[in-house]
Structure 1
Amino acid sequence: MRLHRNLCFAVIDGLTLIFNEGKYADKVIQQLLKRDKRWGARDRGFVAETTYDMVRWKRLYAEIAEVKEPFDRDNLWRMFAVWATLKGIKLPDWKYFEGTPLRKIKGRFDELSKTRRFKESIPDWMDELGRKELGDAIWSKEIAALNEQADVILRVNTLKTTKEKLQTELFDLDIETDFIDNYPNALKLRERANVFSTEAFKNGHFEVQDASSQLVAEFLNVKPGMRVVDACAGAGGKTLHIASLMENKGQIIAMDIYGNKLNELKRRAKRNGAHNIEPRVIESTKVIKKLYDKADRVLIDAPCSGLGVLRRNPDAKWKLQPDFIEKIKKTQQEILQQYSKMVKAGGQLVYATCSVLPSENQDQVETFLKSEAGENFTLVKDKKVLSHKSGFDGFYMALLERKA
């Protein structure tokens, strides 16, 4: 591979914003890709994937390059030289790469790869937490899997098409996909492609949604005609899946504390042809209290550390802090205590997170069931999805039933 100056400059500019100004990697990359209209798919792919790669391995590359934060541009070029060397890419004779110690880079890599926190490029506290909660052997496998690039998975919108029809439609555009066993509405792309520019996407035939995330709506056990509350709906990935499983019959109340996310859900619902969704902003506890004992199903897709989705959000490794995880665990329990009251007698509740930590998952469910609010509920089943076993995001879901 030959390095092109304008593409490398884009990567360095992006890393400056992500590392030094705390910007979100996905937003920065979105902006970078609009930088030059002449760039083809391969150029844009290089910028996106190289930026993500360097964010993912920040600690390892900085250690090898012997640079410390905040990184100035020279530091970032040194880290870039480490990235290129380890990828086997020949460095051009640009001034940024003068005196790059190629053999030393490879030696340092071999040496640092013996220590998990460097090898997997994670903060010390995260390594300690993962080891404590999952055990040394499982954590080693899990964090290695969470450092791999995520596949692109589509969820077919069955309100508008079928898996077979969508596969054919995309094949005609040279986008090849595979079915995934035990994921009834999923298609996995064989190679990365810009699926958002397709007519199929514009016509609402699919959403991009990881396979593990697709399990949650199925777990909720919904049927057409029910009243379902998606209590932490966000921009509505799971809400839309529920709508398709309910065949547009019944009522879905999609709630969130952020109105802008629900506005995005409205746009997506229109594109998807989902007509049974009613967004409600949680401005006070009144919104919740009005629905006490009224829902057949409640989904609590709780705010969490997001440790199960590091493959697609590698910058979360550097943004997350231990005190945030402690705070979010309190929030999770408060939400369970309050929102569970919306489930009517005989109804069901799913508590889900995209975390792999038992303290955010089964421990929260156990605490809830022992509490006054949880004494009328029983655990029907739960599912722990680990990335190193599934090949997809790390997730947890528990199905609870309120006694009739």
Structure 2
Amino acid sequence: MRLHRNLCFAVIDGLHLIFNEGDYADKVIQQLLKRDKRWGSRDRGFIAETVYEIVRYKRLYSEIADVKAPYQRDNLWRIFAVWATLKGIKLPDWKYFTDTPSRKIKGRFDELSKIRKFKESIPDWMDDLGVKELGEAIWTKEIAMQNEQADVILRVNTLKTTKKDLQQQLQSEEIETEFLEGYPSALKLTERANVFKTEAFKKGWFEVQDASSQLVAAYLEVKPGMKVVDACAGAGGKTLHLASLMENKGQIIAMDIYESKLKKLKVRAKRNDVHNIEMKVIDSTKPIKKLYDKADRLLIDAPCSGLGVLRRNPDAKWKLGPSFIEDIKKTQAELLSQYSRMVKPGGKMVYATCSILPFENENQIDSFLTSAEGKNFKFVKDKKILAHKSGFDGFYMALLERSED
């Protein structure tokens, strides 16, 4: 591979924004890819994949390069040189790469790769927490999988098309996909591609949604005509799936504390031809209290550590901290306590996270069921998904049923 100056500069600029300014990697990459209209798919792929790779292994590469935050541009070039050397890429005769110690880099890599927190490039506290929660053997496998590049998975919008027809449409646009056994609405891309430029996407035939995430809406056991509340809807990936499963019949109330996210859902719903969603911003306790005892089904897709989806958000490793973990535990317990009151007698709810840690998952459910608010609920079933076993995102979901009063 030959390195091109303008592409490498884009990578360095992106790393500066992510490492020093705290910007989110996905947003930074979106901006970078708009920088030069002459860039082809290979150029854009180089920028996106290189930035993500260096973000993913920030600790390991920084240790090998012997640099620390905040990263001056010269230090970012040193990290880039480590990445390139380990990839077997010949460094050009640029001033940034003068005296790059290739042999020393490879030796340090071999040495540090024997230590998990360096090999998988994670903070000490996260490594300690993972071992405590999952045990040494499972954590080692799981965090290794979280450093693998995630597949691109689509969820067919059954309100507008079928999985087979979507596959044929994408094939006509030179995008190959395959079915996934056990995931009735999923198509996996055999090679990465920009699916958002396809006619199929413009027509609302699919959404990009990981296979594990696609299991959550189905877990809620919704039926057409029901009143369903999605209490942490965000931009609405699971909301749209619920609408599809309900055949656009009944009512879905999509709620979130961020109005900006619900506005994105509004755009997506229009493209998907979904018209049974009502959106409500949670700006006080009033919207919640108005729905007490009203919902046939409730989905609490709770805020969490996101340790099940680090493949998609590698920069989260550097944004999270022990204090956040403690705060999120309290938030999850509060949401279960408050939001569960929206479920009517005989109704059901699903509590879900994209975390793999028991204290955010089954432990939260156990605590809720022994609380005053949870005494009217019974545990029906749960599902724990580990990335190293499934090949997809790490997830948890639990189905609870409220007893008839």
Both proteins in one fold, TM over 0.5:
yes
Deviation at 1:358, TM superposition (A): 0.3
Instruction: Output the CA distance in 1 between the equivalents of 2:68 and 2:288.
Output: 48
* Paired positions, count: 404
Query: Equivalent residue for 2:294?
Result: 294
In the TM superposition, what is the alpha-carbon distance from 1:286 to its structure 2 partner?
1.2
Partner of 2:249: 249
Name the counterpart of 2:366.
Answer: 366
Superposition pairs for residues 58-69 of structure 1, below 5 Å? 58-69=58-69
Q: What is the DSSP-based 3-state SS (H/G/I as helix, E as strand, rest coil) of the residue aligned with 1:104?
A: helix
* Aligned residue in 1 for 2:312: 312
- Residues of 2 paired with 1:116 and 1:248: CA distance? 48
Tell me, in whole angstroms, the C-alpha distance in 2 between the residues paired with 1:399 and 1:94: 58
Listed one character per residue, the Cα deviations across residues 323-352 of structure 1 (whole Å, up to 9, x for unaligned) are 011001101000000110111111100000
SS in 1 for 2:308: helix
| SS at 1:253 equivalent | strand
1:15 corresponds to which residue? 15
Unpaired stretches in structure 2, ≥5 consecutive residues: none
| TM-score under structure 1 length normalisation | 0.99
The residue type paired with residue 57 of structure 2 is W
Which amino acid in structure 1 is aligned with residue 65 of structure 2? A
1:197 aligned residue? 197
Question: What is the DSSP-based 3-state SS (H/G/I as helix, E as strand, rest coil) of the residue aligned with 1:221?
Answer: coil
Distance 1:287 1:318 in 2: 35
DSSP 3-state at the match of 1:308? coil
**What's the offset of the Cα at 1:59?**
0.3
Q: Output the amino acid matched with 2:125.
A: W
Answer yes or no: is 1:283 the counterpart of 2:251.
no
User: Which amino acid in structure 1 is aligned with residue 244 of structure 2?
Assistant: S
Amino acid at match of 2:253: I
Between the aligned partners of 1:68 and 1:302, the Cα distance in structure 2 is 34
* Residue correspondence of structure 1 range 136-147 to structure 2 within 5 A: 136-147=136-147
Question: Cα deviation per residue 1:250-288 (whole Å; 9 max; x = unaligned)?
Answer: 000001111111111111000000110000111111111
SS of corresponding position for 1:211: coil
Tell me what 1:355 maps to: 355
- Residue 89 (structure 1) aligns with: 89
Aligned pairs (5 A) from 1:10-159: 10-159=10-159
* Aligned-pair identity (%): 79
Q: What's the RMSD between the two structures over aligned residues? A: 0.5
Inter-partner Cα distance in structure 2 for 1:313 and 1:353:
15
Question: Shift of residue 313 of structure 1?
Answer: 0.2
Alignment map for 1:165-244 (pairs within 5 Å): 165-244=165-244
* Residue aligned with 2:232, SS: coil
Give the secondary structure class of the aligned counterpart of 1:325. Answer: helix
**Which residue does the alignment assign to 1:263?**
263
1:333 alignment counterpart: 333
> Which amino acid in the other structure matches residue 281 of structure 2?
V
Instruction: Tell me by how many angstroms 1:93 deviates.
Output: 1.1
Q: Which runs of 5+ in 1 are unaligned?
A: none
| Cα shift at 1:102 | 0.8
Q: How far apart, in 2, do the equivalents of 1:283 and 1:54 lie? A: 38
Residue 199 of structure 1, CA deviation? 1.1
Give the secondary-structure state (helix, strand or coil) at the position aligned to 1:212. coil
CA distance in 2, matches of 1:36, 1:179: 35
In 1: Cα distance, 2:283 partner to 2:31 partner: 32
Aligned partners of 2:80, 2:254: CA distance in 1, in Å? 44
Alpha-carbon shift at residue 232 of structure 1 (Å): 0.5
Deviation at 1:391, TM superposition (A): 0.5
Which letter maps to 1:233?
A: A
Q: Which amino acid aligns with 1:335?
A: L
Amino acid corresponding to residue 142 of structure 1 in structure 2: E
